[in-house]
Amino acid sequence: MQTKRVYIHTLGCPKNEVDSETIAGILRRDGWTIAPSAEESDLILVNTCGFIDDAKEESIGAILEAGRAKGTRKLLVAGCLAERSGAELLREMPEIDALAGVRSLEAVGRAARALFADRPARAPRAAEEPDDPDSIGEGRLPLGSSHTAYLKIAEGCDRPCSFCSIPLIRGRQRSRSLESLEREARILAARGARELVLVAQETTAYGNDLGDRATLPALIDRLAAIEGIPWVRVLYTYPSEIDNSLIERLADGRACRYLDVPLQHASDRMLQAMRRGMSGRAVRTIIGKLRARVPGIALRSSLLVGFPGETDEDFEELLRFAEEAAFEHLGVFRFSRQEGTEAAALPDPVPEELARERAQTLLDLQERIVDAGTARFVGRTLPVLVDSEDEEGVWGRTERDAPEIDGAVLLPPGAGAPGDFLEVRITGAAGSTLFAEPRG
């Protein structure tokens, strides 16, 4: 029997990357090989993102591009956009041969089998019973870097944030067991992982659905004990759930002195309308506590501008907060109306032009904060994890930088190989990029 080849195009967040690697493992189990390009495949699989409008547009563009490249190949669309808008995609895009959502990754394998069986040319959407959470990652086939690995610790979300469609797309919180996560982490370490990056819709909710034994700090303890993984990094924490036990593990090095804390706003009015469950004062308190208890911590956050009803006074408060907090890394997003969410029906929309202006003002402020922050590292010696090498030199990251989204360190050519930890001296800085030389 001729080997079937599949090309996987992944869009969106690291959680989608884990999904694609899990799908790749399922397809390999079913006899597929992974093709390096669409041109070398029998099946093109686009794993979409559907969180905000920009992500939807990017996913639609990727589907259209795949449709132009498909020729006699089949095109299977999976992921968040397929889950959220599957009927519309099938109606508007005849180039799609089959769909599968996000509740079951095994359903992607069933859809692929249906397309190449003696079935109609266009398969219906595969039946989807939710996967067992502990099966996430089992048989996972790495598609990217081996020295840095994302570990998805839970699926879904129980938060009622008024602007967010994730619970509508991915369902309620479903945590994986400590045992399954430790088992997968050990497999990743054996494959060469030196850094584990914990991801979920909300990592600080890990274990809420399992009982008292399974908590994020307990998981960090297990992962930190695995030989060969010096860095355990935590993304997507919820500010009100950052407790002393988590802070203790950041402070003593069991987890990287880095935390991703999406805050969205600092105005009481906006936080209440967003249903974030916190006041502006509480937001400031948790940032101050992290700075005080974890010296040298790097904080990433995301802020949302243009939410319905946001006044000039609300935005000015947000701007003052961003200057006070001086985040090492910051993402700024404009409100995107998501069908089915509470915020979609709110009055007093902010004009798009004004929302863009507010976002740019925040980004300009953040650029100045980053410039001042990185300049302070010149002359210091820091450990760096090497990621890659190109014509410019060797690229790595400090503990203060998450893969793919934060800053980088540029070293001379030949300074190290991916996965190496180096002690380097910082010789210069430009924005979020540091320039360095190996010590010794």
Q: 124-158, pLDDT tens digit by residue?
A: 565 567 778 787 676 889 898 889 999 999 999 99
Report domain extents, the chain. 4-115, 133-372, 381-438
- Residue 47: count other Cβ atoms within 10 Å of its Cβ: 27
At residue 9, the pLDDT reads 97
At residue 421, the pLDDT reads 97
**Contacts (Cβ under 8 Å, ≥6 apart) of 53:** 336, 337
* Residue ranges of the chain whose pLDDT lies below 50: 1
At residue 126, the pLDDT reads 53
CA pair distance 325, 266, nearest whole angstrom = 11
CATH topology of domain 4-115: Rossmann fold (3.40.50)
CATH topology of domain 133-372: pyruvate-formate lyase- activating enzyme (3.80.30)
At residue 1, the pLDDT reads 45
| Backbone CA torsion sign across 270, 275, 280, 284 | negative
Assigned token pair, 196: 């584990």
At residue 301, the pLDDT reads 98
Q: Which residues of 309-344 are buried (b: 16+ CB within 10 A; e: fewer)?
A: ebeeebbebbbebbeebbbbbbbbbbbbebeebebe
Q: What is the pTM of this model?
A: 0.94
| Backbone CA torsion sign across 179, 83, 12, 54 | negative
At residue 175, the pLDDT reads 95
CATH topology of domain 381-438: OB fold (Dihydrolipoamide Acetyltransferase, E2P) (2.40.50)
Q: Are 161 and 433 in contact (CB under 8 A)?
A: no
CA pair distance 204, 308, nearest whole angstrom = 28
